[in-house]
Structure 1
Amino acid sequence: MNDRTTVLVLGATGATGMLLVRQLLDRGLAVKALVRSRDKLPEALQQQDRLTMIQDSVLDLSEKAFADLVDGCDAVASCLGHNLSLKGIFGHPRRLVTDAIRRTCQAVGEHHSGKPIKLLLMNTAGNSNRDLQEPVSIAQSCVIGLLRRLVPPHRDNEEAADFLRTNVGQNDTAIEWVVIRPDSLVDEDSVNPYQLHSSPTRSAIFNPGKTSRVNVAHFMTELITDDELWNAWRGRMPVIYNTPS
């Protein structure tokens, strides 16, 4: 990647998305931030000349408008998630993340030429990578099954990742992807050492680890800017944990 790299960030005003925007700008990249409200981005970020803000919803934009937004981007990073409220968890849209990923892939297909675009999806360690048949205890399988039925955001995260695994796959000429799986998200002031694993090393239900949002943003920024790191994780679902102190 070079200083002309342009990244579209979905969910840019969320707790992790805002940190990602900041880190991308600090690296000298151009950022398009799709936001529902401009006021949620700090004034210091809004004044950056390499930041373009688009005030709208990823699902409300017309197909043409969204395709035009994706056009010219080298990477798209989704930090979308459901608000932790009754309306956010059980209200609409219930397939926010999945539909956003689907729309992104469609938009990329309409404008693709040359090098594949990088598509990054922030997900959760509670979602298994079914390409690897990751071992899950019977107890955790039961809990996940209940979450899948009763808590719409969990199913949404699963379906978004599965769309990339099964519909885009490993050999698409227009899109390369990485699904980032943090465990229990926590707030920290600065980037600290973290660990990357192909699969969870602990139970996300009964023995969860911690992952700081700023570390997630750092890893996503590294994936976008470091082609060697990208090639190491392309088409995979790395799990990220804070390194225990």
Structure 2
Amino acid sequence: MKVFVAGATGATGCLLATRLHAAGHLLNVVVRSVERLPEALREDAQVQVAEAALLDLSDAELVQQVRGCDAVALCLGHNLSLKGIYGQPRRLVTEATRRLCAAIRVHSPNRPVKFLLMNTTGNRNRDLAEPIPLAQHCVIGLLRLILPPHPDNEQAADYLRVQVGQRDVIEWVAVRPDGLIDAAEVSAYTLHPSPTRSAIFDAGKTSRINVADFMARLIEDAELWEHWKGQMPVIYNEEV
């Protein structure tokens, strides 16, 4: 399969790109710094690398990046710094989602293209009217005001839910990990249609390598994709 990965030098995107590369998939990646890519990806002719900020690419360049791709994985996020949180672009994930979907549609693919968005349990799936406690509702409302990345994540998922929907040349899944942690190996994890605990007051843990494994399995496994497409699955590390 041919997969476009955005955010391939990020903590989770790098793990996803490495996992897909090891499985023999063709990759297109856009990265700010080629030197931050793992050596195995930099030196493989099967990996097409563009060095740029994704949103700096023209519409025509994005169309070329996704040409022939069976899946597009968006693992972008805001850096945890003052500039990353409060600087431009404020709608990095939303704009990347919108523009990549537009680029996919230009090709009028004869079979659906999979679009995978890495999101967060702090974002509700409004298709399921997920209930949240009043206290958590208040905290999230505050986060929308003071932390621009939070509404960015919400709006990106809402674009897929509302603008792409369930009848399109694009099929989508928004993966929602909880508190992200690092781990050396894939471990047991559980998947749920909605959060089973409070993202604010009782957050679980999700290793980045488990997120990468689940996203790769969604790309590779048709049955798993059929189960979760058009949904926002929540992933937690299995508690020992």
TM-score over 0.5 (shorter chain): yes
Per-residue deviation, 1:135: 1.0
Which residues in structure 2 correspond to 1:163-242 (within 5 Å)? 163-172=159-168, 174-242=169-237
* Structure 2 match to 1:13: 9
Which segments of 5 or more consecutive residues in structure 1 lack a partner in the other structure?
Answer: none
Which residues in structure 2 correspond to 1:75-154 (within 5 Å)? 75-154=71-150
> What are the superposed Cα offsets for residues 53-85 of structure 1, whole Å, 9 maximum, x if unpaired?
111111111111111111111100000000000
The one-letter code matched in structure 1 to 2:102 is Q
Per-residue deviation, 1:166: 0.3
> What are the superposed Cα offsets for residues 7-50 of structure 1, whole Å, 9 maximum, x if unpaired?
00001100000000000011110111110110111223212332
- Give me the whole-angstrom Cα distance separating, in 1, the residues matched to 2:166 and 2:145: 29
The one-letter code matched in structure 2 to 1:70 is V
Per-residue deviation, 1:195: 0.3
Per-residue deviation, 1:92: 0.5
- Give me the whole-angstrom Cα distance separating, in 2, the residues matched to 1:121 and 1:79: 7
1:180 is paired with a residue whose SS is strand
1:104 is paired with a residue whose SS is helix
The one-letter code matched in structure 2 to 1:56 is A
* Structure 1 match to 2:239: 244
1:64 maps to 2:60: yes
The one-letter code matched in structure 1 to 2:203 is P
1:59 is paired with a residue whose SS is helix
- Give me the whole-angstrom Cα distance separating, in 2, the residues matched to 1:238 and 1:47: 34
1:47 maps to 2:43: yes
Per-residue deviation, 1:189: 0.1
2:197 is paired with a residue whose SS is coil
2:236 is paired with a residue whose SS is strand
Which segments of 5 or more consecutive residues in structure 2 lack a partner in the other structure?
Answer: none
Q: Give runs of ≥4 in structure 1 deviating > 2 Å.
A: none
- Give me the whole-angstrom Cα distance separating, in 2, the residues matched to 1:151 and 1:232: 33
Per-residue deviation, 1:52: 1.3
- Give me the whole-angstrom Cα distance separating, in 2, the residues matched to 1:37 and 1:24: 20
Per-residue deviation, 1:129: 0.2
> What are the superposed Cα offsets for residues 79-112 of structure 1, whole Å, 9 maximum, x if unpaired?
0000000000010000000000000111011112
* Percent pairwise identity: 58
2:201 is paired with a residue whose SS is coil
- Give me the whole-angstrom Cα distance separating, in 2, the residues matched to 1:152 and 1:183: 19
- Give me the whole-angstrom Cα distance separating, in 2, the residues matched to 1:12 and 1:38: 10
- Give me the whole-angstrom Cα distance separating, in 2, the residues matched to 1:184 and 1:108: 31
- Give me the whole-angstrom Cα distance separating, in 2, the residues matched to 1:45 and 1:71: 20
- Give me the whole-angstrom Cα distance separating, in 2, the residues matched to 1:113 and 1:131: 27
How many residues matched? Answer: 240
| Residue among 152, 155, 158 paired with 1:156 | 152
Kindly report the root-mean-square deviation, in angstroms, between the aligned alpha carbons of the 2 structures: 0.7
The one-letter code matched in structure 1 to 2:229 is R
What TM-score, normalized by structure 2, do the two folds share?
Answer: 0.99
